[in-house]
Structure 1
Amino acid sequence: MPDSKPPLSTAMIGSWQLTTREDLAADGRVISESALGADPLGLLIYDRGGNFAAQFMRRDRSGPAAMAPVQKVSGANNTMPTDGYDAYFGTYTVDDAAGTVTQTLVAALSRDNVGQVVTRDLAVDGDTLTVSLGTTLPDGTPVTRILKWARVG
């Protein structure tokens, strides 16, 4: 019986709300990353024309504890939040066979991210999108970041 699942390039189209974001150390430990906090808000949109937009915000951004110092990210494949917020948009291409999306950031909150090209592993299971990427924390610690998203549109 043939696989009736749509290809990733079709299944990923839509609007997605962040449900979880975890940074895992090589030994599997969850590491706390302070810039966006343990439970950030997020919205991710992929359209059929190859455009995308992503926004993240620290959930408790309104209080003084939310104002984490701005830090440069030392690793590739990552962006830099500013004052508990991160936003960027651009274009994307999908490799259905590899299960990856490559995004070119046309605009970003952090000017250092403009023009950056990032690749993420993607998987869609029903109305859940899982994004995984290797990156580093601001202190240089390597992590695997796993973001789970729920379809909202």
Structure 2
Amino acid sequence: MKKSIITAGAIAFILFSCSTGKNTIQSFDNATITNNCTENYDCTFEVQKDKSLVVKTDDTGHNYFNVIDTPGKTVLKYSYKSITDPRIQDAGYTETITFEIDNSTKDLNLTGKDIRKTKMVLNIACFCKGKAGVRKIEEGTLTFKNNKLHIEIPELVEGQVTRVVDVVVR
């Protein structure tokens, strides 16, 4: 019985992990990512309406966040994830930018420290000492005009891949 549960879990993991690298435009949740996603990586964009972001710091000084139900807010999430062999434990690498805006936002132009209004965070998930974790994005550029979202953030950790994100939202 225990073996069949483990086998079923492994099969489900493989099925949900399989995809191909994208060097072309990719659509997700009525949005099109227009910056290239490098080979062996998968880029996605997710829109969560009526949700907000709660960013906290634990007793050890590390940041974490939760997404909670909040009418009138929207959480947006861009992920850059390596495509790895699911049989290799701890081989993955993901960078995710998560932030919130008002549901009614039609235009947005935040630069410098104004980006803090969105509670934007960068989450790096990997088996890499000193690099993994959630970091608050304290400055950068976030514009949304004519259904085009543009994000620029500084390098927060050495080797960070995600610095510029361009998405067309429909």
Q: TM-score range by the shorter chain?
A: 0.3 to 0.5
Could you say which structure has the greater relative contact order, defined with CA pairs below 8 angstroms and 6 or more residues apart?
Answer: 1
User: Who wins on radius of gyration, i.e. which is larger?
Assistant: 2
TM-score normalized by the length of structure 2: 0.39
TM-score, structure 1 as length reference = 0.42
